[in-house]
Chains A and B, each alone.
Chain A
Amino acid sequence: MPIRNKLVALIFGVGMLILIIDLVRRKRLREEYSWLWLMTGSVILLLALWFDLLKWITHLVGAVTPSSTIFLCAFLFLIFISLHFSVVISRLADRNKDLAQKIALLEMEVEKMKRNSQNPCTVSE
């Protein structure tokens, strides 16, 4: 691998790792969602430093050039992380639903209590 390629890949890999760790540090990214990104950064670094591994994977998946292996990995990663986000969104939507239901039910209780306390003749349940 030409040294220029290696340098660019190294810079990207290290830059990505620093960015992710900084996001976690500033509480902008939750630890539980950071692992996938950290793994990606690490893989970029690993492949940049260890070109033989990339060549071996290229041979393994039957690709012709190492660059197609990189594209394949990038593509698979994007699909996987989208799926991961769909799962997270589904969970959030479920919790959102439960919360909204609970708020609606509590609101009714509060209204009822307010009415009862305004009218001292009403016996509360």
Chain B
Amino acid sequence: MLVLIPAYNEEIRIASVIENIRKHFPETEVLVIDDGSTDRTGEEASKSGAGVISHPFNLGYGTALQTGYRYALARGYDRLVQMDGDGQHDPSCIGDLIAPIEKGEADIVIGSRFLKRGGISPAHPPFRAPLIRRLGMAFFRTVTSLIIGQKITDSTSGYQAMNRRVLEWVSGEKFPFDFPDADVIIMLHRAGFRIKEVPVRMFESQNRKSMHSGWKPLYYVFKMLLSILVTLMRR
């Protein structure tokens, strides 16, 4: 199993994220994709014992993920877990995420901050975001759920686990280079993969320059709608 962390300018948090993973899974290989950071993200990750692949310049979140997928594919990994480098995702949930893959129940598992475990919302503290962003997330998870005919509660989650067959697909050219979330779930569903959601704990990330700031939300909505539309039009 490979744990993949795409990171862009995360020098403050990346080391603790890696140490946290090692604490729970000492044997696991951790790979950080340094997406053209202008700070010491790569060095910090390397010092913490992770493998580091550095992009020559910033290529975007989706491309950083894909570099990791291509590495995992070339190295013959059967399973991959991806998580963010800002400490938002709780590494103790990796086991829950990978379990359905190991049991062969699903090809891709999405960690949801909204799915309730035993009646209690796993978000800790409860997930807070501006109203407009929550509305957007609600809209896209409804669209995604309707299209794939399966309830998806957190289509924007970057905390995922996948098996080798999915790895082969996402390494291909159809994988989007920016904001890969709801559209990828729909693409994977149409490619015939079994999707499963499990509850995970997510922390609020501190002082993060969100990738949803400025004009980005508007572009996000546009890109996602277009991407979903053309996905549905593909045969």
Binding site for B on A (CB under 8 A): 94, 97, 100-101, 103-105, 107-108
Contact = CB atoms under 8 A, between A and B. Distances in A.
Contacts of A108: 51-53, 71
Given A94-B173, A97-B63, A97-B177, A104 B57 contact: no
Interface of B: 33, 51-57, 59, 63, 66-67, 70-71, 74, 173, 177
A90 to B, nearest CB: 11
5 contacts: A101-B63, A101-B67, A104-B56, A105-B67, A108-B52
A61 B173 CA distance: 42
A94 B173 CA distance: 9
A104 B51 contact: no
Nearest to B57: A100
Contacts of B74: 105
A107 B177 CA distance: 21
A89 to B, nearest CB: 14
B55 A100 contact: yes
Contacts of A103: 56
A97 B63 CA distance: 8
Chain B CB count within 10 A is highest, among A100, A101, A103, A107, for: A101
What 9 A-B pairs have minimum CB-CB distances, sorted nearest first? A101-B67, A104-B53, A108-B53, A104-B55, A100-B56, A97-B63, A100-B55, A100-B59, A104-B67
Contacts of B66: 101
A104 B54 CA distance: 6
Contacts of B71: 105, 108
Contacts of B55: 100-101, 104
A36 B57 CA distance: 33
Nearest to A108: B53
Contact of A107 (B53, B57, B70): B53
Nearest to A125: B75
Contacts of A97: 59, 63, 177
A105 B53 contact: yes
Contacts of B52: 108
A104 B67 CA distance: 8
A104 B59 CA distance: 11
B4 to A, nearest CB: 13
A93 to B, nearest CB: 9
Contacts of A101: 55, 59, 63, 66-67, 70
A112 to B, nearest CB: 9
Given A100-B57, A100-B63, 5 more contacts: A97-B59, A104-B54, A105-B67, A105-B70, A108-B52
A125 to B, nearest CB: 10
Contacts of B53: 104-105, 107-108
B203 to A, nearest CB: 29
Contacts of B70: 101, 105
A101 B53 CA distance: 9
